[in-house]
């Protein structure tokens, strides 16, 4: 079999149905299979799949095993020469799957490739990055973002100057649509299940690059990515998981001692950022009261609530267990 399409889903039934229809309407010319792993959804996803998409293989988990573990379940079951890890909130465009498969066929030194991702309005979505750095992480997640310190390192990490109209070798690709050669997975291993959510594809791309394979962005193939629908269901917990996964990546690839030294600065700087957000939010809320600006009050309340929830519920875990 040429291609195995793997989709991990959690409570995004409507997105998943749209994704599966797009695959059916724009199916690849070669042999392929679709494997859906459902992480204990409560929205009737499994019943819908078995009723409306009988050709798709379904793995129904009794609990949410996380993104990496669920993908590994399907990878071990997959028969394809190439494995496409695809988010459920994507829409496959015409010929995109064939374009990626053809590119892999013609470039045997490529371990993984990915398409151009588009937003719902058709604009290009940023989907390539360099591997994360300590200074870039400080800017993105902590009070350093409010000061502007390390902004250049953050922009370098996110490759803000990357031209998405050209094919290029990159360090990492977004896991929303990532095609990997089966023989490469057999060499470097499946996804690291220590990453429950986030950074699992970063780690995989890192290991692929370390093993001497290329990772390539292929803009001729296009797939629409509607965004992190599952992630938005739990913003505070989602944020904590991202930070924990980032630390796991740093410990694994930068070393435990270096990461421990980094955490001495990083952890209080993150807390300080949330404290600042609460203070700024309170000031904005008071201003909204004085000016009778209901919209400003609503946005300020959300900022205060999110920051306070993170600090009060996850503070102990964040400070002492990451």
pLDDT average, residue stretch 10-29: 95
Q: 203-233 as b/e, with b when 16 or more CB fall inside 10 Å?
A: bbbbbbbeeebebbbbbebbbbbbeebbbee
Q: Please name the CATH architecture into which domain 3-126+162-227 falls.
A: Alpha-Beta Complex (3.90)
pLDDT band at 314 (very low <50, low <70, confident <90, very high): low
Q: Which of 45-54, 120-129, 224-233, 266-275 has the lowest mean pLDDT?
A: 224-233
Can you give the pTM of this predicted structure?
0.90
In tens, the pLDDT along 170-182 reads 999 999 999 999 9
- Alpha carbons within 13 angstroms on the beta-carbon side of residue 161 total 5
Q: What is the pLDDT of residue 313?
A: 66
What is the distance of C-alpha 66 from the center of its chain?
12
Per domain, the residue ranges of the chain are: 3-126+162-227, 132-160, 255-321
User: Three-class SS string for 46-112?
Assistant: HHHHHHHCCCCEEEEECCCCCHHHHHHHHHHHCCCCEEEEECCCEEECCCHHHHHHHHHHHCCCEEE
Q: What is the pLDDT of residue 234?
A: 47
Q: What is the pLDDT of residue 231?
A: 45
């Amino acid at each position: 079999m040429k291609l195995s399409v793997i989709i991990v889903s959690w409570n995004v039934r409507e997105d998943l149905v749209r994704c599966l229809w797009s695959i059916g309407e724009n199916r690849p010319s070669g042999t392929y299979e679709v494997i859906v792993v459902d992480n204990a959804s409560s929205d009737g996803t499994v019943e819908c799949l078995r009723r409306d998409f009988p050709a798709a293989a379904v793995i129904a988990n009794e609990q949410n095993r996380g993104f990496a573990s669920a993908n590994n379940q399907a990878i071990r079951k997959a028969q394809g020469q190439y494995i496409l890890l695809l988010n459920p909130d994507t829409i496959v465009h015409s010929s995109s799957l064939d374009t990626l498969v053809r590119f892999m066929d013609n470039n045997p030194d490529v371990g993984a490739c990915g398409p151009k991702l588009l937003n719902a309005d058709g604009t290009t979505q940023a989907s390539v990055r360099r591997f994360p750095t300590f200074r870039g992480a400080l800017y993105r997640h902590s009070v350093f973002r409010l000061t502007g310190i390390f902004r250049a390192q953050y922009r370098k990490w996110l490759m803000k100057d990357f031209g998405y109209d050209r094919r290029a070798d990159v360090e990492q690709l977004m896991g929303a649509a990532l095609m990997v050669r089966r023989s490469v997975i057999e060499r470097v291993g499946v996804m690291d299940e220590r990453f429950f959510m986030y950074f699992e594809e970063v780690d995989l791309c890192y290991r692929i690059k370390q093993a001497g394979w290329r990772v390539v962005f292929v803009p001729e193939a296009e797939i629409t990515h509607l965004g992190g629908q599952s992630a938005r269901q739990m913003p505070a917990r989602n944020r904590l998981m991202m930070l924990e996964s980032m630390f796991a990546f740093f410990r694994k690839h930068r070393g435990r001692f270096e990461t421990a030294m980094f955490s001495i600065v990083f952890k209080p700087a993150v807390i300080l950022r949330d404290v600042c957000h609460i203070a700024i939010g309170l000031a904005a809320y008071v201003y909204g009261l004085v000016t009778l600006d209901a919209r400003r009050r609503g946005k300020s309340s959300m900022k205060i609530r999110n920051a306070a929830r993170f600090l009060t519920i996850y503070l102990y875990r964040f400070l002492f267990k990451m």
